[in-house]
Structure 1
């Protein structure tokens, strides 16, 4: 499909969006409103201290199915296998606009947005849509399948590709900015950080590069694939989840390994930061709470698998492997309600809601079914969203006018999991600053990350 034809398809679809009908759904799928009367909960949501903020039915036609929902500040995106793309207000559930991306697809990646545009992929194409209206701004043929979620800031948009390349375009007009080639497919969402960009790759390496002029600053080789998105804390601490069972805290600008959390199993989910705490779920189903500043372990608790959904001031919400809600006390790590308690005793059935994106913005929980039903839940009494990061804090990658003071690497945390999975202290190999840099090894050989600044 030519870019001109794809562009025309989007315009026509926007003009005819209002003619699409909503697919009927069973009211039994919508949890009854969380009601508490005389301090007695009367519904399944009320028994769990939850409230249904809103629900909506994505307009589908025939055999069309919803395949992806994703979030950006203030927005929820829903993408279907017919290439239709819907944007909702994430707090009210109001449908803002829809666009057709022009082709049927079996897979979709999370979208991204800045203050002016929404960026989304479908097939080999990258679309820039007006944030207010959904009308197309530009379309770019990537020539190969995208494998990562789209990432953007106000100036550029980035996407990882099946070829192992990360491609960057100017957000306003799709002008190519740069490409970085890694040694494996890029499944982890790139992280634009002001003057630099951080990339995690299936080849097990973290790449950090200068944007202009495009220059590789350093690489960190871990002992396993980096397929989950990178976490961030403050303005310059990268949290790198690796299949080698560790999370590495890497200073964005100095390449120092500030701390390492040996989780005991591959880390295949993004480390989620709320305030000064980072939450890590490993493949063995262990949830850990860490101090983001030094890696000290607050607590760990088994959750028997599942994924992080949202974090409130007092609770951590997860979805179990069976699709049931899990509620964990944020301060102590103890169970408030396990999957059996939410499903059998409280009577909350979310098993058909197979899509539950991790909310990295605030405390709202979002769930969706392939038949197009989307619901938003929150805690009773939390009438306004509670952001996980101070909205007034400088963005990740910010460099103050006085520069960044040089600080020594942080001491390792006092508490650690069994030493069999912990890299040896001081194992990072850092090449000399002038000439004769040590080569980058293919893996960390169980001794810790290998840093290459060449």
Structure 2
């Protein structure tokens, strides 16, 4: 009996040692081990560190668009990386140190950042200051920008729209931010604070009030186009796709409405509060009700496709996979069609995670300023989800006579019957 107990203890020690060894090999100096990533068809694209004062500073916000990664620290330092190469493009102190701010927002050329009452616009590739506005009231969320306007939501319920051309003229004449009011196009007042950045869509601008009302206005003259009302408050930021607005109300319901006319397409009830905005990838909507895991819903019908009880936060998605966080900070790898777990990576130290609706890249960061970029093996060029037309046109390399065309790393040559049609991604239709 004594020998049996000793044998069991020895086996237990060996298993414990193996578990510790696996945990240690998963990170090397905080960077995931490439062998472990490769096991799940992933690779570390790059890693970097933002400019930060390690003694008193922490990373507050990490955001991304199709080109760059933007890291904002608690002291107001903004660091920009190229999303594909990891090259640090520029860094700057936005406004005065330790001012209240919100996550950065961008369009094709400009990056907007708030610092107290000030709105700063930078060339997102060079860091040059393009202009600076003073918000008439304290902002309640990040500003929004399109090709012709800047919109700012405020804590008093106001939404202000500014003419971008006039803003640039005033900046060139060195009249900003003092004469900001000369560029103001209109002001629209709602009962309570706006809960998220206004959304530009064509000739319409859409925003929500905490009172539970979503407004759709003509962006040029603030004429009311539609008004959508819920029965309770709205405190979760709006989600959106190319044609839809996703609204989460405090009674645990998700509404999908048309961007142009506000008509309800469908309603989904989760049975639990949803504190993060709905994320849209192709024809799938991802929401994470509190303590209920993550749900995948069909964008056009509102039907529940699958549930994954371990996932609590959407991180990224490729054509066949979804990446999500669990309660322990692990990065879950899920089958996009069924929600079944494929594997997980122990990356709890990287707790700042971009909810990437733009591309298939996985971006993770921590409060001390380290950022990682992970991609699937063979995916040298990112897939663009929200704006596929923004993907750069790649040169077509024509092979010489008798040569095989070049293939991506990790690709497998397949021979199909001549009459077989190319299959489309089933999740995009």
Tell me which interval the TM-score lies in, with the shorter structure as reference length: 0.7 to 0.9
Matches within 5 A, 1:124-273: 124-142=117-135, 144-174=137-167, 175-234=183-242, 236-273=243-280
Q: Is the 8 A contact 2:294 2:313 kept in 1?
A: no
Instruction: Measure, in 2, the Cα distance between the counterparts of 1:186 and 1:155.
Output: 21
Residue in 2 aligned with 1:46? 38
Q: Which residue does 1:316 correspond to in 2? A: 322
What TM-score do you get using the length of structure 1 for normalisation?
0.72
Q: Is the 8 A contact 1:67 1:108 kept in 2?
A: no
- Residues 397-444 of structure 1 show CA distances to partners (whole Å, capped at 9, x for unaligned) of xxxxxxxxxxxxxxxxxxxxxxxxxxxxxxxxxxxxxxxxxxxxxxxx
Give the SS at the match of 2:69: strand
Structure 2 gaps, min length 5: 1-26, 168-182, 391-429
Say if 1:200 and 1:227, in contact at 8 Å, map to a contact too. no
Provide the aligned length of Structure 1 versus Structure 2.
Answer: 348
Highest relative contact order (Cα 8 Å, sep 6+), 1 or 2?
A: 1
2:388 is equivalent to residue 391 of structure 1 = yes
Offset of residue 32 of structure 1? 2.1
Does the 8 Å CA contact 2:99/2:115 hold for their aligned counterparts? no
Is 1:373 matched with 2:338? no
Shift of 1:383: 1.9
Question: Conserved in 2, the CA contact under 8 Å of 1:67 and 1:107?
Answer: no
Distance change in 2, residues 1:237/1:379 (3 Å): same
- CA distance in 2 between partners of 1:352 and 1:291 (Å): 33
Q: Secondary structure at the match of 1:46?
A: helix
Q: 2:85 aligned with 1:82, yes or no?
A: no
The question of whether the paired residues in 2 share the 8 Å contact of 1:242 and 1:268 is answered with: no
> Residues of 1 paired with 2:86 and 2:143: CA distance?
23
TM-superposed deviation, 1:74? 0.7
Which of the pair has more CA radius of gyration?
Answer: 2
Q: Which moved more, 1:284-293 or 1:193-202?
A: 284-293
Looking at structure 2, the residues matched to 84 and 390 of structure 1 have their Cα atoms a distance apart, in angstroms, of 29
CA distance in 2, matches of 1:281, 1:391: 26
> How far apart are 1:78 and its partner, in Å?
0.9
Comparing 236-245 with 354-363, which one deviates more in the overlay? 236-245
Tell me the CA shift for residue 27 of structure 1.
5.5
Distance in 1 between residues matched to 2:211 and 2:140, nearest whole Å: 14
SS of 2:200's equivalent in the other structure is: strand
Query: Matched residues in 2 for 1:138 and 1:330: separation?
Result: 42
Task: Give RMSD over aligned pairs.
Answer: 2.1
The question of whether the paired residues in 2 share the 8 Å contact of 1:148 and 1:160 is answered with yes
Match of 2:282 in 1: 275
- Name the TM-score, length of structure 2 as normaliser: 0.76
Q: Which residue of 2 aligns with 1:30?
A: 31
Report what 2:335 is aligned to: 329
**8 A Cα contact 2:153 2:193, kept in partner:** yes
Gaps of 5+ in 1: 1-25, 36-42, 343-347, 394-454
For 1:257 and 1:187, locate their aligned partners in 2 and report how far apart those are by CA, in whole Å. Answer: 20
Cα displacement string for residues 308-332 of structure 1 (whole angstroms, at most 9, x for unaligned residues)? 1111111111112332212221101
Q: Is the 8 A contact 2:363 2:373 kept in 1?
A: yes
Q: 1:256 to 1:74 in 2, by over 3 A?
A: same
Q: Which residue of 1 aligns with 2:361?
A: 364
Q: Distance in 2 between matches of 1:173 and 1:370?
A: 38
